[in-house]
Amino acid sequence: MQRRAVAIRHVAFEDLGLLGPILEEHGYTVEYRDAGVEAVDVPPVRDANIVIVLGGPVGVYDVAVYPCLAEELRLLEYRCTRDLPTLGICLGAQLLAYCLGGDVRPMNTKEIGFGAVELSPEGARSPLVHLQGVPVLHWHGDQYSLPAGARRLASTELCPEQAFEYGSNIFALQFHPEWELRTFERWLIGHAVELAHAGIDPRDLRAAAQRVAPVSMPAGRQALASWIGTR
């Protein structure tokens, strides 16, 4: 029977990116569930072979305003307690951290742009080894504390918690290895207000994306394929 991957999406333009074709190449069917529109804490999602929780502009502390986040946390608690293959990216990583007992709070400044992450010894033995010294996309204004029992994989000077593993199958990434150049303009348009408030010129980000794509995208693909291939 074909394996199923379900992606929880918060905004349409922050999709699976490079990860979609990787999942299909590894024999998964791919299904999206839109948070707040479609139910996510239901058996078809709970019991999927892989669940991916993608990024978005809301925060874990916004549960009272966006009740769909509470449903996502229930789903992740189910997955984490059973050590079922689960990947969180950006907001997804923060939800995983919170679910596992970590704290999530706003940073003093946003981390938006391209830059390398520093790998821990555990990170250098993980799928993230493919990202050593490679610029990846950062786009977040929140940070999490490392949950008890989790293994720190990566950090940056601005944000010390960039990735962690928990158990055998829980993988959380604060940054975006799934980004791809052909759809990056959607990010610049979709986050236009955030960029303006942060004083970031979209032209600079666009130029940086074009410059780093030949290195960043293949490395991101390798890292993601390495994790998917061992599930």
Comparing C-alpha atoms, which of 143, 142, 91, 135 is closest to residue 113? 135
Phi and psi torsions of 35, nearest 5°: -60, 135
Is 25 catalytic? The answer is no
What tokens were used for 49?
């072979």
pLDDT tens for the chain, 231 residues long, are 689 999 999 999 999 999 999 999 999 999 999 999 999 999 999 999 999 999 999 999 999 999 999 999 999 999 999 999 999 999 999 999 999 999 999 999 999 999 999 999 999 999 999 999 999 999 999 999 999 999 999 999 999 999 999 999 999 999 999 999 999 999 999 999 999 999 999 999 999 999 999 999 999 999 999 999 999
Is 191 catalytic? The answer is no
Positive/negative CA dihedral, 57, 153, 150, 169: positive
Cα separation, 148 vs 155, in Å, equals 17
Other CB atoms within a 10 A radius of the CB of residue 133 amount to: 10
Query: Is domain 3-228 annotated with CATH 3.40.50.880?
Result: yes
Q: Which residues pair with 31 in a beta bridge?
A: 6
Q: Which of 71, 72, 178, 180 is catalytic?
A: 178
Comparing C-alpha atoms, which of 198, 12, 179 is closest to residue 89? 179
Is 157 catalytic? The answer is no
Q: Which of 10, 140, 176, 191 is catalytic?
A: 176
Give me the residue spans of the domains in the chain: 3-228
Q: Which of 68, 90, 99, 159 is catalytic?
A: 90
